[in-house]
Amino acid sequence: MKKIVVAVVCILAAASVHAQGLPNTQIKDVNSGKKVPFNETIEKGKVTLISFWATWCVPCKKEIKNISLKLPEWKKEADFNYVTISVDEARAEGLVRTYAISQGWSFPFFIDANSDLKRSLSFQNVPYTMIIDKAGKVAFTHTGYEEGGEAEVFAKIKELAK
């Protein structure tokens, strides 16, 4: 019974985020070191793809690498932004920065060191992919990664960016 109640609460919380818009939970810009509200990292009127990841998560790194390699081609077909948010602990911020720089990331990357945003969005595991539509609403979410799964994500981006 307790598991059912917890599941219902999680579903209601997720539905609340979808209906009410994005939380203003603070995350840290790893480049500048400044904290910013999550909802202000999303450009109004533009689709945004967000990859939640961790330095210890091999599928996360693979997904971001595959998306990163396809970004130039994808950007020719659809107008959208790409952002990554690490769910590593605060003490791993240096690892996040070093990894992102070593991979040549040209897109913004943030850290949710206390998992406040993760709790606000009611998800448990990474990789977690989210697409925000032009109206600033969550239009798509997916947990996990399988090679080639980014094609489904891009199809959704193209549909929303029209």
We report the CATH number of the domain holding residue 45 as 3.40.30.10
What's the pLDDT at 3?
A: 45
Write out the chain's pLDDT in tens, 162 residues.
544 433 333 433 344 344 458 999 999 999 999 999 999 999 999 999 999 999 999 999 999 999 999 999 999 999 999 999 999 999 999 999 999 999 999 999 999 999 999 999 999 999 999 999 999 999 999 999 999 999 999 999 999 999
What pLDDT shows up at residue 19?
A: 42
pTM for the complete prediction?
0.87
pLDDT in the model for residue 20: 54
Structural domain for 100, as ranges: 2-161
Q: Which long-range contacts (CB under 8 A, 24 or more apart) does 115-120 make?
A: 115/87, 116/25, 116/26, 117/23, 117/25, 117/27, 117/38, 117/85, 118/52, 118/87, 120/17, 120/23, 120/25, 120/38
pLDDT at 21: 82
**In this predicted structure, what is the pLDDT of residue 124?**
95
Domain count, the chain: 1
